[in-house]
Amino acid sequence: STHFSIDSGESPLLSLSRFDTLVSDLSGVALEFSFGLARPVLYIDLPTRARNPDCKDLGIEPAELQLREKTGVVLSLDRIDQAPVVVRSLVSDHADFTASCVATREQWIFNLGSSAKVGAAYIARRAEPDSNLRPAETRKIVSEAKPILSVKNAVVTYNGQFVGLHR
Q: Dump pLDDT digits (tens) for 10-61.
A: 656 567 888 889 999 888 888 888 888 889 999 999 888 777 778 788 888 8
Mapping DSSP onto H, E and C, the string for 44-91 reads EECCCCCCCCCHHHHCCCCHHHHHHHHHEEEEEHHHHHHHHHHHHHHH
51-89 pLDDT, tens per residue? 777 878 888 888 888 889 888 999 999 999 999 999 999
Instruction: Classify 160 in phi/psi space as left (phi over 0), alpha (psi -120 to 50) or beta.
Output: left
**Bridge-based pairing state of the strands 41-45 and 22-24:** parallel
In this prediction, residue 130 has a pLDDT band, given cuts at 50, 70 and 90, of low
pTM: 0.63
How far, in Å, CA of 125 to CA of 119, rounded?
A: 10
Shortest CA distance to 74 belongs to which of 90, 51, 96, 91? 90
β 161-166/154-158 pair status: antiparallel
What burial class does residue 119 get, using C-beta atoms within 10 Å of its C-beta: 0-12 exposed, 13-18 middle, 19+ buried? middle
Report yes or no: 42 and 23 within 8 Å, Cβ to Cβ.
yes
Phi first, then psi: what are they for 76, rounded to 5°?
-75, 155
Q: Is 75:56 a contact under the CB 8 Å cutoff? A: no
- Contact (CB, 8 A) for 71 and 104: yes
- CA torsion 156→160→28→46, rounded to 10°? 180
Would you say 39 and 64 are in contact if contact means Cβ atoms under 8 Å apart?
A: no
